Amino acid sequence: RIQLDVPAEDYFLGSFEVNSNKSGGFTERTLEDDLDIYIQIHPGKFSDLAAGLYRYQGQNLEKVSQEMILRRQVIAINQEVYHRASFGVTLISRAGREWISFLQLGRKLQKLQMNDLKIGLMPSGYSSKSGHNLPSADRIQNILGKQQGPSYFFLGGGISDEQVKSRGMKEDSVHMKGPAELIKEDLVERLPDYMIPTKVVILNAFPLTANGKLDFEALKKLHVEPEKRQLKVPKTETEKNLAEIWKTKLRREDLSIQDNFFELGGNSLTAVSLVSQVNRHWGAALPIQVLFEAPTIEKLGAKIDAQKREQSSRIVPLQSDGAGRPIYCWPGLGGSCMNLRLLAKKVSSDSPFYGIQAYGLNENETPYNTLHEMAKEDVKLIKAKQPHGPYTLWGYSFGARVAFEAAYQLEQSGETVESLVLLAPGSPVISGLTTGSAKSWASSQCGEYAAILFSVFMGSISDPLLEKCLATVDSEESFQNFITQHQSILDAEFVKRVMTIVSQTYEFKVSDLKSRTLRAPITILSASGDSDSFLENTSINESMDLHSVQLVCDHYTLLKFPGVEEIKTLMKSGCIKTLRSTPHFKSIWLGHSLGGIHGKKPVKSRHHLELSIY
């Protein structure tokens, strides 16, 4: 008998006699026979297998359900792996809940892991003999509709030669995020910047009143000990002062000089406020985009100490990994690239993704006077980074106009644009409001402009504050005061600079559209509820290769979850054109599994295709 040596703080589970097979114990063959195996296929991973749950029968897969174990039902440290995985495997024992059945599951996993097919398997959930199952075990029972024996779930996917040979811990870096960090990431995907909490606390249970309702008073008084972790403390005076600024802006006490600003919950609002305070404190002239180049206290401190005053490029690296062709993307009105971060992360895992920040967002910058001039200067930046094509250009909202003009200028200079993708190039339709010029602030004339300007700062036209804004704002000064009042983290000068950019660019249009023929294939991703874009319902040159896709998401959720997932699915399905083909105009509808076609009527076209992506 082997006696386990268990520390006092751990639970003793049991010990087992080690016998040879001669004693009549379980043989490998009987262990194998007592298992049911279910395979879940993740969406878009296999061309010949639809997503869903399959039962493994001999050499065949029998589909049993559209349902499957979801990301949130995987243990927290492996949720980052879920989207990378191609499939999942659930082993279910038929041997009851004896201890041997749990050993049987582990033995089978080990045997599957020791394959020479370059397939990696990662344990991600299991049932418990004590009855405290992890979510994956409860989920599989709900899907199959009956009580099952002990189960073990693991994720699977292809691994590289380097991973097979590696004996280090580098691959484990993906597991360094805990539940609080993962929850915050989910909130970033779903909420506007100003609603994202700076701190997330995990509780085993909420405090309740005697009536079983949530006890808000007890919750306020709850004291949670901060999680202990290894911190690299500031070394220089600059780092110490910088750390104090970070603590104030991010509302955190425990900071390492190697913590990433964005991973700590930093967003576009805190970034602007932080850089402004840094510049005031040190008399520096750091641009807002500096946090993409130096996202830690250590790196930002080095920039300050070196007093690097050269102009940082407005081409902002939002996703630097991948050997594929870079994607250059223009943001919407206001010119900040920070709301493109989630898009870059989700759709560009194989290619670098760069945002192009508007000139005028930083101090001492004056916005360009025309769309042509704006695109001309941006093309210079792109060619400095990538001297020759082919180029891949994207543009969101107003940025779609700049992307189109830039594509035209690149082609006129003899370069090749492989693909032009216009995201939500129309404007959100705001019912009940009058249109007006950006130059006029009489409330009876520019309600629509004020609402769009409000959305630049608040990320929505459905926020309850919009009604109050429209009822009280009647000038640039009063709008500026309204925003700083409700977004106290922003300083008035920055709000004024953004307002100037919007005022200057709001009425920019692609001039002489009829003569601006592009050879590049163009994909128009129209957001639900938007008006027609500048390329639709116009006399478009028949030689242009246009593809129109009607999205389910609206103008403002397109850059959040689930909008970015919708775009990611489109890229995988090949609906976003990247190759030259016979000229035509396609209208593609994206349906929803709950039925019907969504959105506006299709544009006039010679081709029509229904495509369901869910």
pLDDT in tens, 317-375: 898 877 788 999 999 999 999 889 889 988 877 789 999 999 998 888 899 999 999 99
Which tens digit of pLDDT belongs to each residue from 478-536?
Answer: 999 999 998 877 888 889 999 999 999 988 887 777 778 889 999 999 999 898 888 87
Q: For residues 250 and 27, which has the higher predicted lDDT (pLDDT)?
A: 250
Which tens digit of pLDDT belongs to each residue from 255-277?
Answer: 888 888 887 778 777 888 888 88
- pLDDT computed for residue 593 by the predictor: 29
Which tens digit of pLDDT belongs to each residue from 215-232?
Answer: 888 887 776 665 555 678
Q: Is the dihedral of CA 451, 355, 336, 538 positive or negative?
A: negative
Mean pLDDT of 395-411: 95
Beta strands 87-93 and 151-158: pairing type? antiparallel
- End-to-end CA separation in angstroms for the chain: 54
- pLDDT computed for residue 395 by the predictor: 96
Largest CA distance in the chain: 94
- pLDDT computed for residue 358 by the predictor: 93
Q: Quote the mean pLDDT of the chain.
A: 79
Cα distances (angstroms) measured from residue 294 to each of 289, 291, 312, 316, 351: 9, 5, 11, 12, 21
248-252, 483-487, 581-585: which range is least confident on average?
Answer: 581-585
Closest CA to 575 of 599, 566, 393: 566
Which tens digit of pLDDT belongs to each residue from 451-480?
Answer: 899 999 888 888 888 889 888 888 889 999
Which tens digit of pLDDT belongs to each residue from 61-90?
Answer: 999 999 999 988 888 778 878 877 889 999
167-176, 282-291, 508-517: which range is least confident on average?
Answer: 167-176
Categorize the per-residue pLDDT at 137 as very low, low, confident or very high, splitting at 50, 70 and 90: very high
Please determine, for residue 156, whether its predicted confidence score (pLDDT) is greater than 80: yes
Q: Which residues of 26-40 are buried (b: 16+ CB within 10 A; e: fewer)?
A: eeeeebeebbbebbb
- pLDDT computed for residue 397 by the predictor: 93
- pLDDT computed for residue 401 by the predictor: 94
Whether residue 590 contacts residue 547, with contact meaning beta carbons closer than 8 Å, is answered with no
Residue 135's CB is within 10 A of a number of other CB atoms, namely 15
Categorize the per-residue pLDDT at 538 as very low, low, confident or very high, splitting at 50, 70 and 90: low
Categorize the per-residue pLDDT at 179 as very low, low, confident or very high, splitting at 50, 70 and 90: low
Cα distances (angstroms) measured from residue 237 to each of 62, 240, 282, 302: 65, 5, 12, 11
**For the chain, the helix, strand and coil percentages under 3-state DSSP, each to the nearest 5:** 35, 15, 50
Categorize the per-residue pLDDT at 376 as very low, low, confident or very high, splitting at 50, 70 and 90: very high
- pLDDT computed for residue 598 by the predictor: 32
H helix intervals, 487-527: 492-505
Mean pLDDT of 528-557: 80
State the Cα–Cα distance between residues 377 and 364, nearest whole angstrom.
Answer: 17
On the question of a cis peptide bond just before residue 352, with omega within 30 degrees of 0, the verdict is no
- pLDDT computed for residue 18 by the predictor: 63
- pLDDT computed for residue 382 by the predictor: 95
DSSP string, 347-410: H-SSS-EEEEPPTTSSTT----SSHHHHHHHHHHHHHHHSSS--EEEEEETTHHHHHHHHHHHH
Q: What are phi and psi of 392, to 5 degrees?
A: -115, 120
Please determine, for residue 614, whether its predicted confidence score (pLDDT) is greater than 50: no
117-121, 172-176, 183-187, 536-540: which range is least confident on average?
Answer: 172-176
Q: For residues 384 and 585, which has the higher predicted lDDT (pLDDT)?
A: 384
- pLDDT computed for residue 442 by the predictor: 45
The single residue listed with the structure tokens 């919009």 is 466
- pLDDT computed for residue 253 by the predictor: 76
Q: For residues 432 and 402, which has the higher predicted lDDT (pLDDT)?
A: 402
Cα torsion at 154, 160, 165, 167 (round to 10°)? -50
What percent of the chain is predicted at pLDDT more than 90? 24
Residue 355, CA atoms < 13 Å, CB-side half-sphere = 23
Q: For residues 176 and 507, which has the higher predicted lDDT (pLDDT)?
A: 507
Categorize the per-residue pLDDT at 574 as very low, low, confident or very high, splitting at 50, 70 and 90: confident
What percent of the chain is predicted at pLDDT more than 70? 77
Whether residue 453 contacts residue 427, with contact meaning beta carbons closer than 8 Å, is answered with no
Query: Model-level pTM greater than 0.75?
Result: no
